[in-house]
Amino acid sequence: MLSNHFERLSAVLKRYCALWQYVPFAHSTPPWLHTYRELGDALFALPPASLNLLLNNDDQAENWIAPFLPDLVALQDDWLSTPAPVTNALPFWLTNGIKGRKLSQITAFTAQLPSSPNHWLEWCAGKGHLGRAALFGPVHQVSSIEWQQSLCESGQRLAERHHCQQNFIHADVLQDDVSNYVHQQCGVMALHACGQLHMQLLFMAKQQKVPAVLVCPCCYHLIRDEQYTGMSQLAQQQQLTLSKLDLKLPLQQIVTTGARGQRLRDTELLWRLSFSHYVSLLTEKQVYTPLPNFAKSLLTHSYEDFCRWACAEKSIPFDASLLLDSLALGETQRQGLARMELVRQRFRKPLEYWLILDRALFLQEAGYQVDVMRFCDFSITPRNLLIKAHLAN
Ligand X SMILES: C[S@@+](CC[C@H](N)C(=O)[O-])C[C@H]1O[C@@H](n2cnc3c(N)ncnc32)[C@H](O)[C@@H]1O
Binding site for ligand X (CB under 6 A): 102, 124-126, 130, 146-148, 151, 172-174, 191-193, 197
Q: How far is the CB of 226 from ligand X (least distance, A)?
A: 19
**Which class for 289: exposed (0-12), middle (13-18), buried (19 or more C-beta within 10 A)?**
middle
Type of residue at 145: I
For residues 38-53, b (16+ Cβ closer than 10 Å) or e, as one string? ebbeebeebeeeebee
Three-state DSSP at 168 gives: strand
Task: Output 276 or 384, the one with its CB closest to ligand X.
Answer: 384
Task: Output 190 or 322, the one with its CB closest to ligand X.
Answer: 190
| CA atoms of 19 and 164, how far apart (whole Å) | 51
> Given its phi and psi angles, is residue 275 left (phi above 0), alpha (psi -120 to 50 degrees) or beta?
alpha
Q: How far is the CB of 176 from ligand X (least distance, A)?
A: 8
Pairing mode, if any, of strands 166-170 and 141-146? parallel
**Which class for 85: exposed (0-12), middle (13-18), buried (19 or more C-beta within 10 A)?**
exposed
Task: Output 148 or 289, the one with its CB closest to ligand X.
Answer: 148
Phi, psi for residue 134 in degrees, rounded to 5: -60, -30
Task: Output 84 or 222, the one with its CB closest to ligand X.
Answer: 222
Q: How far is the CB of 146 from ligand X (least distance, A)?
A: 5
Side-chain-side CA neighbours of residue 202 (13 Å): 30
Task: Output 69 or 130, the one with its CB closest to ligand X.
Answer: 130
Q: How far is the CB of 249 from ligand X (least distance, A)?
A: 19
Task: Output 101 or 263, the one with its CB closest to ligand X.
Answer: 101
The angle at the Cα of 218, spanning 241 to 9, to the nearest 5 degrees, equals 40
Task: Output 8 or 129, the one with its CB closest to ligand X.
Answer: 129
| CA atoms of 382 and 252, how far apart (whole Å) | 10
User: Residue 384's CB: how many other CB atoms inside 10 A?
Assistant: 18
Q: How far is the CB of 192 from ligand X (least distance, A)?
A: 4
| CA atoms of 338 and 344, how far apart (whole Å) | 10
Task: Output 134 or 340, the one with its CB closest to ligand X.
Answer: 134
> Given its phi and psi angles, is residue 57 left (phi above 0), alpha (psi -120 to 50 degrees) or beta?
beta
Task: Output 151 or 361, the one with its CB closest to ligand X.
Answer: 151
Q: How far is the CB of 95 from ligand X (least distance, A)?
A: 13
Q: How far is the CB of 122 from ligand X (least distance, A)?
A: 7
Q: How far is the CB of 184 from ligand X (least distance, A)?
A: 22
Q: How far is the CB of 130 from ligand X (least distance, A)?
A: 6
Side-chain-side CA neighbours of residue 383 (13 Å): 21
